[in-house]
Structure 1
Amino acid sequence: MAVAMNNTVHNEEVKQFEIWLADLGEIPEKSSVQGGVRPVLIISNDKNNRYSPLVMVSPITSSSTKARIPTHVTVNASDAGFKKDSVILFEQHFTIDKKSKLMYKLFEMPHKYENQLLRALEISTTRMFSR
């Protein structure tokens, strides 16, 4: 596991489908974009995660008001270690710098969610679902 010191990652051992705490920066008021310090799901592949200073992430929210769409994966709090049931927002995925944005690893996603995660990732990034 990477160790966070002064809010930066000093060991780039980051793996796909781990949950990390990240500082996503400030967002404008009344925005649907997720920001601030929050959990994120690492979605970039492990080869990228090992050699690149960047990782792709999807933000996670505990808001229950989010519309349920195919790019969302709902995670039960008791399954994953969250305080509340949470939703991974694959449609909001983006790239961040590991050293300046990732703070520390929270936990790994339970294996039982893997198919849902892969499906939501595919839906959010492929053209076949755009028609």
Structure 2
Amino acid sequence: MAVAINNKVHNEAVKQFEIWLADLGDESKGSVQRGVRPVIIISNDKSNKFAPIVMVSPITSSSTKAKIPTHVSLKADEVGFIHDSVILFEQHLTIDKSQLIHKLVDMPVRYEDQLLRALEISTTRMFSR
């Protein structure tokens, strides 16, 4: 990846719920998503503006993923993908902005409620102690 791209992305406005292509590295273990793949930005816009890092959730085109409350299914024709895909909110991670390659698409507004719900479920304690 060229340094010019990294510097450009670091200074570019990254917004919550945009879909970017990112390099998540090669150290995959088990079902953890790695490699170059689409991700959705989940960190808030204030953090995105000032921090050198962003929080993301990976997106997979695998149709074998279980339908669980932290997944949001995406229709390919609605988001400009080749295949229907799934956002895996339970696998959110923090990456350096230099790992962002380029913006792919803005998420259609119709998905906003589903995105917020899956994000809330993935970060909320579900059971009392």
SS of 2:38's equivalent in the other structure is strand
TM-score (norm 2): 0.91
Aligned partner of 1:118 in structure 2 is 116
Cα shift readout 1:64-120 (whole Å, capped 9, x = no counterpart): 000110000000001101110000000000100002x00000001000000000000
Aligned partner of 1:109 in structure 2 is 107
1:10 shift after superposition: 4.3
Aligned partner of 2:25 in structure 1 is 25
User: In 1, distance between residues paired with 2:18 and 2:80?
Assistant: 12
Moved over 3 A (4+): 4-7
Aligned letter for 2:92?
Answer: H
How many residues are paired up?
125
1:5 shift after superposition: 5.9
Aligned letter for 1:113?
Answer: Y
Aligned partner of 1:85 in structure 2 is 84
SS of 1:44's equivalent in the other structure is coil
User: In 2, distance between residues paired with 1:32 and 1:130?
Assistant: 24
1:11 shift after superposition: 2.5
Gaps of 5+ in 1: none
Does the CA contact (< 8 Å) of 2:14 and 2:48 recur in 1?
yes
- Percent of aligned pairs with the same residue? 69
Does the CA contact (< 8 Å) of 2:28 and 2:34 recur in 1?
no
Quick one: structure 1 residues 63 and 120, their matched pair in 2 at CA, closer, same or farther if it must change by over 3 Å? same
Aligned partner of 2:11 in structure 1 is 11
